[in-house]
């Protein structure tokens, strides 16, 4: 498997771990119960092994003692009245005796060895059972045994058994052969049977442990499933409710705590649905009303407009009072018309009856046109309009009408609040987004004003004389226009330092904006005079 596949597997596992509470619970339970079972069965296995071995050893030692004492008795009783003894003959008898005593299970072998370093009149031949490997009796053991302190010594050994090795036990004791000195008797036990018993016990323990852990895992799985199942259903239902499927409910079963959760959840969903439906109905009625009113007003307004304009054209022939009245009528009808148009646009947005109709549009060109359109007003205010466009020289997929409306609104506001200082329009773009910023150096806004600046019918200063005939809906509509494109409008402002409104739009239709190519607050702590006067051709738009 290549490293990439490993990483994918690792990531998938990590994701599964994080996402599944059930998996986590089962895994943790299995992990800890494995540790517990391992400790318990390990302890059991060790103590059983010790007991088995100790018992076997005790038995072996008891046998060895009896064999040693029997041999000693035999030799002692075989001394003739003249004090002589036929050691070889007695030795023969002794071997038979020992063999009969050492009758514990398994093959028992023995060796009679003369303790080295003795000089006696007679020397008895050393003897042992056939096929014994005397090398298993270590010299350390022999030294211990030779000391003859009345005790028997034992040692665990390995016995060569064909191809394999069996565990064994050697027990040694001493006896005195009259005239021939001290001899050592070693009994060698093969304890394979003990090992076999132990193996069997351990195997049983292992299987038992595995079954136990498996059972615990399964039980945990079932229990968590039982407990998490309803929670999962609740989570899924809540998710769907949040996504707008207001009819979703949790099935209510039984009387337990889960059922209580389901019931209260459903009650909450019911009341939410009621409220939402009610609000939606209300809002529909209201939107419908606004839209109807706006539409119905249009025809009479057109008539009034036409009549007003006909009168206005002839005002020279009127008396001064009638002429002024006609002028007022004319301007106010204009204002009324703008308001109605904005209101209608807003109601269209509220009703969600707005569709984006995009076409490839050069934003810089569009802004140049918008600047041209507002130029007369700017001149009247003694305010200079500048365009700085390092980017944006490409065909963006936008609805030109809406973008123009946004730009004209921002420009109108900026000129209105410019206090005769220049207004700079920035256009820039990067690979994902294109941004337009309109910067003025006029009165600016404080924090409280900033908070409300996008609110409907809100004006920074109601008493301010306005030339663009604002309705107070301009920024609200601009925000909706930008959002329709998947973009956004944000603002920076400081009292006395002016404001900067920034529109950021995604380059591709359907995507959203994560960042803007233009910084906000704008990078002009620097004086206005240092700003580039004309637009800089953009190399960034290849």
Binding test (CB under 8 A) with other proteins, winner from 176, 309, 384, 524: 309
As measured in angstroms, the least distance from the Cβ of 301 to other proteins is 5
**Burial, 167: exposed, middle or buried (Cβ in 10 Å; 0-12, 13-18, 19+)?**
buried
Q: Which is nearer to other proteins, 141 or 363 (CB)?
A: 363
Site string for other proteins, 346-385 (x = CB under 8 A): --x----x-x-x-xx--------x---x------------
Q: How far apart are CB 370 and other proteins at their closest, in Å? A: 10
d(CA 357, CA 402): 10
For the CB of residue 343, give the shortest distance to other proteins in the complex, in Å: 12
In a 3-state reduction of DSSP, which class is residue 26?
helix
Task: Tell how strand 385-388 and strand 423-429 pair up.
Answer: parallel
Contacts 24+ apart (CB under 8 A), 297-306: 297/340, 298/340, 301/333, 301/336, 301/337, 301/340, 304/333, 305/333, 305/337
Contacting range for other proteins; rule: CB under 8 A; set: 303-311, 320-328, 384-392, 435-443: 303-311
Phi, psi of 120 (to 5 degrees): -125, 170
Which of 301, 323, 450, 528 forms a contact with other proteins (CB under 8 A)? 301
Distance separating alpha carbons of residues 104 and 102, to the nearest angstrom: 6
Q: Which stretch binds other proteins (CB under 8 A): 74-82, 89-97, 302-310, 459-467?
A: 302-310
Find out whether 473 and 432 touch, Cβ atoms under 8 Å.
no
Q: Are 428 and 434 in contact (CB under 8 A)?
A: yes
Q: How far is the CB of 365 from other proteins (least distance, A)?
A: 10
Q: How far apart, in whole angstroms, are the C-alpha atoms of residue 171 and residue 169?
A: 7
The least CB distance from residue 448 to other proteins, in Å, is: 35
The interface with other proteins within residues 52-91 (CB under 8 A) comprises none
Q: Is 339 in the site for other proteins (CB under 8 A)?
A: no
Q: Which is nearer to other proteins, 253 or 401 (CB)?
A: 401
Instruction: Between 305 and 386, name the residue whose CB sits nearer to other proteins.
Output: 305
Which is closer to other proteins, CB of 166 or CB of 480? 480
337 is an interface residue for other proteins by CB under 8 A = yes
Residue closer to other proteins by CB (options 94, 396) is: 396
Q: Which of 9, 307, 322, 523 binds other proteins (CB under 8 A)?
A: 307
Measured from the CB atom, the residue of 230 and 308 that comes closer to other proteins is 308
State which of residues 310, 328, 533, 536 lies at the interface with other proteins (CB under 8 A).
310
Name residues whose C-beta falls within 8 Å of residue 301's C-beta, 6 or more positions apart in sequence.
333, 336, 337, 340
- C-beta of 193 vs 334, nearer to other proteins: 334
Size of the site for other proteins (CB under 8 A): 30
Nearest 5°: phi and psi at 362? -85, 110
Q: Distance between CA atoms of 172 and 111, rounded to whole angstroms?
A: 9
Q: Which of residues 93-132 bind other proteins (CB under 8 A)?
A: none
Task: Report d(CA 491, CA 439) in Å as an integer.
Answer: 10
Q: Smallest distance, Å, CB 457 to other proteins?
A: 21
Is residue 403 within 8 Å of 366, Cβ to Cβ?
A: yes
What's the gap between Cα 335 and its chain centre? 57
The residue among 228 and 373 lying less far from other proteins, judged by its C-beta, is 373
Return the residue matching tokens 């309109």: 438
Q: Pick one of 73, 86, 149, 395: the residue that binds other proteins (CB under 8 A).
A: 395
In SS3 terms, 349-408 reads as HHCCCCCCCCEEEEHHHHHHHHHHHHHHHHHHCCCCEEEECCCCCCEEEECHHHHHHHHH
The residues in 185-204 that bind other proteins, with binding defined as CB under 8 A, are: none
331 binds other proteins (CB under 8 A): no
Q: Which is nearer to other proteins, 150 or 352 (CB)?
A: 352
**Closer residue to other proteins (CB): 270 or 359:** 359
Q: Report the residue number, 27 or 301, with the smaller CB distance to other proteins.
A: 301
In the complex with other proteins, the residue whose CB is nearer, 62 or 304, is 304
Separation of alpha carbons 419 and 256, rounded Å:
71
Least separation in angstroms between residue 402's CB and other proteins is 12
Q: Does 295 bind other proteins (CB under 8 A)?
A: yes
Residue among 47, 302, 331, 380 that touches other proteins (CB under 8 A): 302
Phi and psi at residue 190, in whole multiples of 5°?
-95, 120
End-to-end, the C-alpha distance of the chain in Å comes to: 43
**Count H helices, E strands: the chain?**
11, 12
Report CA torsion sign: 401, 402, 403, 407.
Answer: positive
SS3 445: coil
Q: Is 299 in the site for other proteins (CB under 8 A)?
A: yes
Q: Which of 15, 401, 452, 508 binds other proteins (CB under 8 A)?
A: 401
Residues contributing to the site for other proteins (CB under 8 A): 295, 298-307, 309-310, 313, 337, 340-341, 344, 348, 353, 355, 357, 359-360, 369, 373, 395, 400-401, 404
């Amino acid at each position: 498997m290549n490293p990439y596949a490993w990483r994918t597997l690792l990531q998938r596992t990590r994701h599964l771990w994080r996402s599944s509470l059930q998996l986590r619970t089962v895994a943790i339970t299995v992990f800890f119960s494995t540790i517990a079972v391992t400790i318990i069965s390990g302890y059991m296995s060790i103590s059983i092994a010790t007991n088995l071995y100790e018992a076997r050893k005790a038995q072996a030692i008891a046998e060895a003692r009896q064999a040693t004492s029997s041999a000693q008795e035999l030799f002692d009783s075989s001394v003739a009245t003249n004090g002589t003894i036929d050691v070889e003959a007695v030795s023969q008898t002794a071997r038979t005796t020992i063999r009969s005593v050492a009758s514990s299970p398994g093959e028992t072998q023995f060796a009679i060895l003369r303790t080295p370093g003795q000089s006696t009149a007679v020397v008895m031949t050393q003897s042992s059972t056939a096929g014994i490997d005397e090398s298993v009796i270590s010299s350390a053991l022999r030294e211990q045994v030779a000391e003859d302190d009345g005790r028997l010594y034992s040692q665990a050994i390995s016995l060569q058994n064909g191809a394999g090795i069996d565990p064994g036990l050697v027990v040694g004791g001493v006896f005195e052969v009259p005239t021939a000195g001290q001899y050592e008797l070693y009994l060698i036990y093969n304890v394979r049977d003990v090992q076999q018993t132990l193996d069997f016990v351990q195997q049983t323990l292992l299987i038992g442990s595995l079954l136990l852990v498996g059972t615990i895992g399964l039980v945990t799985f079932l229990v968590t499933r039982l407990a998490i199942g309803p929670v999962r259903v609740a989570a899924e239902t809540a998710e769907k409710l949040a996504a707008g499927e207001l009819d979703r409910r949790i099935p209510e079963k039984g009387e337990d705590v889960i059922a209580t959760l389901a019931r209260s959840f459903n009650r909450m969903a019911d009341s939410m649905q009621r409220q939402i439906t009610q609000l939606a109905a209300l809002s529909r009625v209201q939107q419908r009303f606004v839209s109807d009113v706006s539409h119905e007003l249009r025809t009479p307004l057109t008539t009034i407009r036409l009549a007003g304009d006909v009168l206005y054209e002839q005002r020279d022939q009127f008396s001064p009072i009638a002429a002024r009245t006609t002028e007022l009528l004319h301007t106010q009808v204009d204002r009324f018309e703008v308001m109605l148009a904005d209101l209608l646009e807003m109601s269209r947005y509220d009703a969600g009856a707005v569709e984006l109709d995009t076409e490839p549009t050069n934003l810089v060109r569009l802004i140049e046109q918008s600047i041209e359109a507002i130029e007369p007003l700017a001149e009247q205010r003694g305010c200079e309009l500048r365009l700085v466009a390092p980017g944006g020289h490409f065909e963006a997929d936008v609805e030109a009408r809406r973008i123009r409306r946004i730009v004209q609104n921002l420009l109108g506001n900026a000129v209105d609040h410019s206090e005769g200082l220049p207004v700079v329009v920035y256009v820039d773009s990067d690979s994902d987004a294109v941004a337009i910023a309109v910067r003025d150096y006029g009165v600016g806004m404080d924090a409280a004003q900033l908070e409300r600046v996008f609110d409907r019918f809100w004006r920074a200063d109601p008493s301010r004389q306005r030339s663009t005939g604002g309705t107070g809906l301009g920024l609200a509509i601009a925000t909706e226009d930008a959002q329709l494109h998947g973009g956004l409008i944000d603002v920076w402002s400081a009292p006395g330092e002016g404001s900067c409104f920034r529109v950021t739009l995604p380059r591709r239709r359907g995507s959203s904006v994560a960042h803007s190519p233009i910084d906000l607050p704008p990078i002009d702590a620097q004086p206005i005079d240092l700003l580039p006067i004309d637009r800089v051709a953009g190399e960034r738009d290849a």
